[in-house]
Chains A and B, each alone.
Chain A
């Protein structure tokens, strides 16, 4: 089995976001970039499977669509344990651009399992995996919280309202993964960081892709009214406020 993981390069989750150019661009100064948390979990699960002889995972490749600056994040993934990497040298304009670039770059490369995170923590779109599967015309399974391979048979746990389903799928397929796919993200070891320096990053020239959507501008939320503090000795007042002021119980 050859596994491919789509990586998104996102601002650290504690970033205070600011915008520039009349609120049309993210202010990138001072931002720490990280591997999108779900993509990191996907990578972790792929590594676990590679260590499990039963799963017979040959290789783990990561791919990202982005400029040269996204290579820091790619190196992190290589240090954690991916074997090699692809970078499509294009601006990740919107999800359709990203999915189209990935589809073009990998269509003849024979990956059996393609993993994408459920969303990227910046634009929160939840789109690349589904679009990619359609562009490649292969099955997709979404909301995946478990991935198992045994005797060349792949099963996935898919979250549904109030429970889960075990789904079986033929390769190749795209799985859109979320919480539960792996317990804790792996961190790179010193040896991993050294080895990552020698691993290949194949840079691929972009295709031209039709632009379907455009981010026109950003706005910060209005600050919330101050919290009403209620005396712990007077819990009844809270119930009264919830009932008569907020009207929610």
Chain B
């Protein structure tokens, strides 16, 4: 009956995302009076697996099968379904990131388990099992009831605080039945940037819009990001113009992010842009136009020229960082 939580590792290491998920799962397990079982697929060492215990996993099932090195949605879903059945798990948790979005709906159809995606907190009530999520691109919240016996939740990123429980989990190595013909997709090529903070993962994001005037003015944005350990982002016209790469485009039709701090330099704050960033804990806006809608969404604002404010901000941040 335990709560099953699907964790993700990057080259054998867990990131904050997985700890958030385990904390969340273990909070729900507490509400349901049961235990938390974390599933890990990939080659992850025991000491790394044990870290999941710190955030509340009672048991860890580790699957390291060479056939599963690449994400094949169908095969991964089959493995998780097998584990859910083996554990008798009726509540299964994923992140609402790319991988969770790829797997959770498949599993939902396979198990006939009602699914709420992008939940922002633990269930408000257990009976009925009610979750809250954002709808209409952040313009409203909906409460959704899962009526089926099996239930799946994907948790919105950066929406649940880590809880330390310091459990000593049991670790089970499990070899599922993965037949060769189950895996139908293959990877031909991988391009990966290294050394850059990943936008959807970043605690701080520094973003620029058309008000930055030219791609040549992005130096200070990158510098500020660098000293804050932040990721860089942009508005849609900026990526459409080719000033910045497409993977930096945030908003309704780009990436949806929820960092602790979002800087908007020369971004007007169109409703479609806000749809991607309004879950940020704090928003700072710098814009020459005091009527710009971004100031309605922002917590702190400077009415002024971004190109002048940026260098001063960089030196002020450097000063406090070095003190």
Contact = CB atoms under 8 A, between A and B. Distances in A.
B187 to A, nearest CB: 5
A56 interface: no
Contacts of B137: 13, 121, 124
Interface stretch (A57-65, A84-92, A138-146, A188-196): A138-146
Contacts of A213: 114-116, 144-148
B51 interface: no
Interface residues of A, number: 85
B184 A130 contact: no
A232 B142 CA distance: 39
B90 interface: no
Contacts of A212: 108, 112-115, 146-148
A239 B317 contact: yes
B34 interface: no
A216 B143 contact: yes
Contacts of A169: 184-185
A13 B302 CA distance: 28
Contacts of B201: 161
A118 interface: yes
**Which secondary structure dominates where chain B touches chain A?**
mixed
A229 B77 CA distance: 49
B303 A232 contact: yes
B246 interface: yes
Contacts of B174: none
A131 interface: yes
Contacts of A164: 190-191
A248 B204 contact: yes
Given A140-B74, A143-B101, A246-B299, A221 B140 contact: yes
B156 to A, nearest CB: 10
B290 to A, nearest CB: 8
A22 interface: no
Contacts of A166: 187-190
Contacts of B240: 183-184
Contact of B135 (A179, A218, A243): A218
A11 interface: yes
Nearest to A160: B98
A96 B109 contact: yes
A220 B42 CA distance: 41
A224 B296 CA distance: 8
B106 interface: yes
B146 A130 contact: no
B277 to A, nearest CB: 13
Given A213-B114, A227-B298, A179 B246 contact: yes
A142 B102 contact: yes
Contact of A235 (B134, B252, B312): B312
A210 B137 CA distance: 27
13 contacts: A14-B271, A95-B115, A122-B135, A126-B96, A130-B101, A130-B105, A134-B106, A140-B74, A168-B188, A218-B135, A230-B302, A236-B319, A239-B320
Give the 5 A-B residue pairs with the shortest CB-CB distance, closest first: A130-B105, A232-B304, A212-B114, A142-B102, A163-B192
Given A96-B114, A139-B185, 16 more contacts: A13-B272, A124-B136, A126-B96, A160-B98, A161-B198, A166-B189, A166-B190, A167-B186, A217-B142, A218-B143, A219-B143, A228-B301, A229-B302, A230-B301, A241-B300, A249-B317
